[in-house]
Structure 1
Amino acid sequence: MVKPFDQWDGVHSVISGYTGGHVPNPTYEQVKSQTTGHIEAVQITFDPAVITYERLLELFWGQIDPTDAEGQFQDRGHSYTTAIFVHSEEQRRKAEASKAALAACGGFDKPIVTPIVDAKPFYPAEDYHQDYYRKEPEHYKEDRSKSGRDEFIAKHWEP
């Protein structure tokens, strides 16, 4: 989820990491074991005068299957589920409005299940996870092509 965000003016940083669980400073191995309660997430620092929170929400929705409560594409399990972690009531209102608009659009045959929850402590992932699409472009392309994500996006998000 780094690449869709860090290419935009106004986005200062996109950090891969883990949030929402009960183990302090988890490792990737712990998170992928599905025992820590964490979700793999990105922490985005942005300038709202350049790119709005609403635009970030649009970018987020356009990269996921918001109807899948069991993971995303080939990645299965709680740690691969989606969520929007809000830091304020204003963000909550905007996220809830965007979710309601998505549900009303009629583009999905199942309910939108991505939760909107209060932000919890965020733990940056190990260095080798940061900017993975740049560090390992061939592996990134191969994983993405096998995942089914691009086909889903083309079907549900592209005109």
Structure 2
Amino acid sequence: MIFPATRPFLVGMFVDALGNGLYLPLTLLFIQQVTGLPVTTVGLGVTVAAALGLAANPLAGVIIDRFGARTVLVGTYVIRALGFALYPLVDGFGPLVAVAAVDGPSAGRTFLSPSGRLLRYGTTAGTAAFEQRFLDTLNGRA
């Protein structure tokens, strides 16, 4: 049974999953077309950028603790949009890794999936309890 309070959470997860599901495969083709780099170079560059993004996850936690989830999330989306606009300027492997590290799939994965919930509610004790109830429901403990 889906509780009414969990619907926005589930919708956020669906929208995020759909967007990333479309973004990941099509971005490689887009980058290849815009930059003219070989597909293998693009794939390797995006892979290196994703590894850098994974290594940056602990730093993201520190930044969120300092400035708050909402501020960091909005800032990240602005930075990602600017990074995406830089792809036409990429002319080699190094610039590709730099731009992909800012814009790439790893950049958005440092945050909770349904980011719209963070924007609307922030992170409070009430939302933490809600998330725990939601996770308990998913795991069959509710």
TM-score, length-normalised on structure 2? 0.29
Q: Which has the higher contact order (CA 8 A, sep 6+)?
A: 2
Structure number with higher strand proportion: 1
Looking at CA atoms only, which structure, 1 or 2, has the larger radius of gyration? 2
Higher helix share: 2
